[in-house]
A and B are shown apart, each in its own frame.
Chain A
Amino acid sequence: MGPGLTGYIVRRLLWAVPVLFVISVVVFSMMRLAPGDPVDAILGQRYTEEQAAVLKAKYGYDKPLPVQYVKYMANLAHGDLGVSTRHRDFTASDVIWPKLWVSTQLGAIALLIVFGLGIPVGVYAAMARGTFVDPLTISFWLAIEAVPVFVLTTIASWLFALKLGIVDLGYRGVWSPNMIVPILVMSLPGVAGVARFMRASVIGVLGDDYIRTARAKGLKERTVVITHITRNAMLPMITVIGLSLPGITAGSIFVETGFGIPGIARESLAAALAPDYDVVLALVLFGAALFVMANVAIDVMYGFIDPRVRVGAGRG
């Protein structure tokens, strides 16, 4: 790692700070200025002015918004995400972290399936270009993508639980075989996007000189496809993989509500509806931070792989 690359990484990280700052200010003001009131959420419909005043003073809602923001950020730096109004006596961190872990495990497995299936399907379709196999393969996955997740949930649980009787639908932990159905429902619709992207990328590579060279020197078609075509076509996939990484923590609202999985997406829905102000705020900020970090990571990875990127950035 040369000095150029270190400087590049530092610059990218510094750039992420203002973006995160703006996001946090916008979301914070949105949550505080939104119609409704955390005091209503905690006390219910009937309360006296004194009770409200005590609560407002306790949580600092009576202070001006910038003061509240600074205090919130100071607490955040200590890992204090605020209090949950939906779950009495729980802090927002107590509510969020265990559920986030459940969703992240499921999301990671689903993501592996999405790319594990999508990349070969894309390469296959691209190599079959010019025949009817190509549009047929892509259309098949597009059709699955078009089925709403909540319809797929019903169909999959009917098929696997009622018809075939392989699993039942209760939640018994992330690693129980019951999770096969929700993981399938989460991952299958994503295959089309990856496959299409991979197909376009492969087709872009196909015409390059080194592919012709590889074929000309008599390499087996298998070797050409795997080590020459696929490897080079994977380069643009870094962005897609990187951008989808934050998504694995988000969980899927429809799958988690449909299969009763105690994950973060179900909590997000309940928190947004309640509304559970600090929990929603923490979730949005967490998601935004992950997204920004993923973007930085992608840029840095490109900097590693492709020297032209960091030279250009150094000049600019």
Chain B
Amino acid sequence: MGLSTRAFELVPGVASDLLTAEQFGGEHLANAELGSPKRFRTMRELLRKKVAVLAMCYLAIFYFCGLAAPLIAPYGLNEQELTVEARRQPPSSEHIFGTDQLGRDLFTRVLYSARTTIIFTIIIFVTGGVFLGLGLGLLSGYKGGWIDTVIMRVGEVLSGMPTLLLMLAITASFRGRINTWSFWLEDHTFLGDDSRTLVKFGIIAIATVPFAWLGSTRIVRSQVLAIREQAYITAAESMGAGTPRILFRHVLPGVMPLFLVGLSSGMAGIAGAEVALSFLGLGIDEPAASFGSLIASVSGSRNLNDYPHMLIAGAGPVVLFLFSWNLLGDSLVDVFDRRQNTR
């Protein structure tokens, strides 16, 4: 159902509605006479800041570990020891997260899974966020007319579709071609063994991107509509500045803050989409590492009962990652609200 799996289905429409509602609430903050003592307010602000700081610290560690995975990892990604004693080991000095059911070092798997998450979020950030979200939002807000109508109607049609089901249908129908495409890549490029994973990344990106730009586009568009009416835009137009110049020099800086706020609140949803698809065996799967397939291999109540370290080590880092993005997005919205009001 839509609500309960919010972080794991991309529901950008709803997310952006929530965001605008919070700003709507924020507009009233300035004249709200709450009568709360000042020290509570500072305390609350402090706590909020601390939460944001903690979240950012964790995200920094996560991104560093993920990007530097090959350097940090104590073992090879698929290095295994297949003796009975070597499998499902609890944490020890040799394997700080223990080992999995195939006798592979869990810490290493987690590091490479983090890398998968990071690569995927960057792909979607660039394509769905910056390219489609920001680009289409600027275009439809500034140009207006039929361009605006077409973009917003396409968005409406897309947001009306059951997202997860379509993502499944798209990935499933493309997965039949994995062999063809990855063999072609292996033969014609320098990618070699990585091409198979690359093709899988491509497939989940194709399935995710159509639904990932709606929220950002709406946010950017509404911002552009407000900025377009400002005197300095008219001034720039009257001085003969071209559309690209006005968009990038004059409109974009005003749009950026809210765009980034919107993206950061949507980040957990994007990362969660990959984890969910991989969990179902439709995303990045073995032998490449992903939190989704990692969690799939360690779930089950029996497994949790007998080898609790496996679920904690496998799911913990990614849960904290999603949580951190949620908290960070939340405090960003908050800080932005306050700035908007004091201005």
Contact = CB atoms under 8 A, between A and B. Distances in A.
Nearest to B291: A148
A23 B301 contact: no
Secondary structure at the B interface, as helix, strand, loop or mixed, is helix
Contact of A252 (B4, B51, B166): B4
B301 A161 contact: yes
B156 A147 contact: no
B138 interface: no
Interface stretch (A55-63, A218-226, A265-273, A305-313): A265-273
A154 B322 contact: no
Contacts of B162: 250, 283-284, 287-288, 291
Contacts of B22: 196-197, 200
Contacts of B315: 147-148, 151
Given A27-B161, A132-B47, A146-B323, A248 B1 contact: yes
Nearest to A186: B4
B319 A254 contact: no
A236 B21 contact: yes
B160 interface: yes
Contact of B6 (A30, A190, A205): A190
B326 to A, nearest CB: 5
Interface stretch (A46-54, A93-101, A137-145): A137-145
Given A131-B44, A143-B323, A269-B280, A251 B1 contact: yes
A153 B299 contact: yes
Interface in A114-136: 114, 129-132, 134-135
A292 interface: yes
A151 B295 contact: yes
Contacts of A269: 168, 280
Interface in B34-54: 34, 36-37, 40-41, 43-44, 47-48, 51
Nearest to B308: A158
Contacts of A288: 160-162
Interface string B159-171: 1111011101100
Contacts of B1: 107, 110-111, 186, 190, 244, 247-248, 250-252
Nearest to A294: B160
B322 A253 contact: no
A193 B18 contact: yes
B232 interface: no
B161 A23 contact: yes
B160 A151 contact: no
Interface in A281-311: 283-284, 287-288, 291-292, 295
B219 to A, nearest CB: 16
A31 B161 CA distance: 14
A243 B24 CA distance: 19
Interface string B60-85: 00000000000000000000000000
B174 A35 contact: yes
Contacts of A190: 1, 3-4, 6
A206 interface: yes
Interface residues of B, number: 75
Interface string B1-33: 111111110000010011001101111110111
A187 B169 CA distance: 26
A204 B160 contact: no
B149 interface: no
A77 interface: no
Interface residues of A, number: 88
B235 interface: no
B243 interface: no
Given A186-B4, A189-B6, A207-B31, A142 B299 contact: no
B205 interface: no
A34 to B, nearest CB: 4
Nearest to B180: A35
A162 B169 contact: no
Contacts of B32: 203, 206-207
Nearest to A208: B28
A22 B152 CA distance: 14
B283 interface: no
A150 interface: yes
B176 interface: yes
Contacts of B303: 154
B173 A35 contact: yes
B172 interface: yes
A154 B48 contact: no
Contacts of A186: 1, 4
Interface in B277-307: 279-280, 282, 295-296, 299-305
Contacts of B279: 148, 150, 254
B275 interface: yes
The 10 closest A-B pairs by CB, nearest first: A247-B2, A130-B36, A287-B162, A200-B25, A190-B3, A146-B323, A207-B32, A272-B168, A158-B301, A204-B25
Interface of A: 19, 22-23, 26-27, 30-31, 34-36, 107, 110-111, 114, 129-132, 134-135, 138-139, 142-143, 145-151, 153-155, 157-158, 161-163, 169, 185-190, 193-194, 196-197, 199-201, 203-208, 212, 236, 239-240, 243-244, 246-248, 250-255, 258, 268-269, 272-273, 275, 280, 283-284, 287-288, 291-292, 295
20 contacts: A26-B157, A36-B173, A110-B1, A110-B3, A130-B36, A135-B47, A143-B323, A146-B320, A150-B299, A162-B301, A196-B18, A196-B22, A197-B18, A208-B28, A244-B1, A254-B276, A272-B168, A284-B161, A284-B162, A287-B165
